[in-house]
């Protein structure tokens, strides 16, 4: 029995105003070939298949086409669980139809634990693995709020509630006397984040401890975009996003994870590298050094590289955009952002990087605003925690509106 673990596709993502459609299309074509090459029996997408709760039409088309095309491969089972970027309603709207294509969709937490248990079959059509298909867990899914509790009480109660949900579903899966695999979409303690990951604050709970997971043979996680093991445990992993979703992700190779059960309850785990479909490159230094680095960039990839340029502060020119654009004018490259090197001694947003609001997300704006204030570290942490809780509440309210069928504009989602 061979399972392929992937997550965080973020179909429909716009990166600094640019569509990722070409890269996602190339990845999905590669994935179909990879499934056949490695004789994969079941594919798991551990959340954030879409970048927003209202994905553009081309993202939905890529999603639907892939599911149909997967039927032409040796992989006859697909399991999709919802992530924090996904709308439960959007994922679930085609759930019954996709079931006829051997695709199981678990958009949100179910009131019935059996609904989150999926039996995965091997190439002979025999049940071989019991999957706990657990999606992103929102506080209201597992816990009733109580007034008067301290922050630490709320955090412990929520942590225990999430662990209890995992244990309940795991117990149902274990009844089948098969190896058990579980999914999850959350931040774990000591997980490595990247720029493109919005930290999940489930109520007051920032990160879930690995000890809270049940004793599954493998735990397929989503949300963090850098592939990694959790607390050094081989069987608890983030597959990471298949394409870099921010410039700081380019230093880490992308991958999907193959989990093979060969008659033993302990699986063999293999990392399969994902090709670079479009290079994302960060270049720093003086204008002279930047020009030399640009000349060394390979343009052999199918899609033109995207660049982020950071000009050293010792360059006195008031306009650094024009010289950089002149450097790439005749090259198959595209510069998405040019900024001056940040002065760590300056607190002003304008003085620090001359960044516009269009270049920053709301979390970055808040972080930079805090840097303007002479606050102690514990105060900064408290304000950041409160801000992220508010942000997560707003995000959940938007999903509630979507689940209720309310029309939500793209502006409202962004806000």
Calpha distance 19→26 (Å, rounded): 13
pLDDT value at position 217?
97
Residue 175 has pLDDT above 90, yes or no: yes
Within 76-177, strands assigned E span 77-81, 103-106, 117-121, 127-132
Calpha distance 374→278 (Å, rounded): 41
- Least confident segment among 51-60, 227-236, 370-379: 370-379
Task: Please say whether the beta carbons of 223 and 9 come within 8 A.
Answer: no
What mean pLDDT, rounded, does the chain reach?
84
Give the C-alpha distances (Å, rounded to integers) separating 13 from 60, 115, 123, 301: 12, 30, 35, 21
- Least confident segment among 91-95, 214-218, 325-329, 407-411: 407-411
Sign of CA dihedral 119, 125, 128, 129: negative
Residue with tokens 């952002």: 337
Which residues, other chains included, contact 330 with Cβ-Cβ below 8 Å and sequence gap of 6+? none
Which residues, other chains included, contact 285 with Cβ-Cβ below 8 Å and sequence gap of 6+? 293, 310, 311, 312
- What is the pLDDT averaged over residues 93-105? 95
Residue 346 has pLDDT above 90, yes or no: no
pLDDT digit string (tens) for 308-342?
A: 998 886 556 667 788 888 888 888 889 998 888 76
Task: List residues bridging with 338 in a β-sheet.
Answer: 309
- What is the pLDDT averaged over residues 132-140? 92
Joined together, the tokens standing for residue 399 give: 């999903």
Residue 4 has pLDDT above 90, yes or no: yes
Residue 350 has pLDDT above 60, yes or no: no
Give the C-alpha distances (Å, rounded to integers) separating 153 from 150, 158, 289, 385: 5, 9, 54, 16
pLDDT digit string (tens) for 379-415?
A: 666 677 677 667 666 665 555 555 555 555 544 544 4
Calpha distance 218→19 (Å, rounded): 34
pLDDT value at position 185?
95
pLDDT digit string (tens) for 222-269?
A: 999 999 999 889 999 999 999 999 888 888 899 999 999 998 889 999
């Amino acid at each position: 029995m061979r399972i392929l673990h992937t997550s965080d596709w973020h179909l429909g993502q716009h990166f600094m105003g640019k569509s990722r459609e070409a890269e996602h299309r190339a990845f999905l074509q590669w994935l179909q070939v990879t499934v056949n090459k490695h004789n994969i029996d079941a594919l798991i997408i551990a959340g954030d298949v879409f970048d927003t709760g209202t994905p553009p039409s081309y993202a939905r088309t890529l999603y639907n086409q892939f599911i149909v095309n997967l039927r032409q491969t040796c992989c006859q089972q697909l399991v999709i669980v919802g992530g924090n970027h996904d709308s439960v309603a959007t994922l679930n709207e085609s759930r019954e139809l996709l079931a006829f294509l051997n695709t199981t969709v678990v958009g949100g937490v179910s009131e019935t634990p059996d609904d989150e248990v999926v039996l995965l079959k091997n190439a002979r059509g025999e049940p071989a693995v019991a999957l706990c298909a657990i999606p992103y867990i929102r506080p209201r899914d597992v816990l009733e709020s109580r007034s008067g509790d301290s922050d630490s009480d709320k955090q412990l109660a929520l942590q225990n509630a999430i662990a209890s949900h995992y244990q309940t579903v795991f117990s149902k899966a274990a009844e089948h006397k098969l190896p058990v695999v579980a999914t999850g979409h959350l931040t774990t303690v000591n997980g490595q984040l990247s720029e493109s990951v919005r930290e999940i604050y489930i109520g007051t709970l920032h990160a879930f401890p690995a000890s809270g997971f049940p004793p599954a043979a493998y735990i397929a996680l989503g949300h963090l975009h850098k592939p990694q093991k959790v607390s050094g445990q081989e069987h608890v992993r983030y597959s990471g996003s298949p394409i870099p979703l921010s410039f700081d992700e380019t230093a880490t190779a992308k991958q999907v994870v193959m989990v093979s059960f060969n008659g033993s309850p302990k699986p063999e785990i293999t990392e399969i590298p994902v090709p670079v479909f479009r290079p994302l490159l960060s270049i720093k230094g003086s204008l002279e050094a930047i020009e030399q680095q640009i000349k060394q960039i390979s343009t052999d990839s199918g899609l033109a590289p995207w660049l982020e340029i950071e000009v050293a502060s010792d360059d006195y020119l008031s306009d650094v955009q024009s010289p950089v654009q002149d450097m790439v004018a005749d090259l198959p490259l595209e510069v998405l952002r040019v900024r001056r090197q940040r002065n760590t001694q300056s607190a002003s947003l304008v003085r620090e990087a001359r960044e516009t609001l269009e270049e920053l997300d709301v979390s970055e704006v808040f972080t930079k605003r805090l840097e303007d204030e002479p606050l102690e570290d514990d105060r900064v942490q408290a304000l950041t925690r409160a801000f992220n809780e508010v942000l997560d509440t707003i995000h959940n309210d938007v999903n509630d509106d979507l689940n209720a069928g309310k029309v939500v504009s793209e502006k409202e989602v962004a806000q």
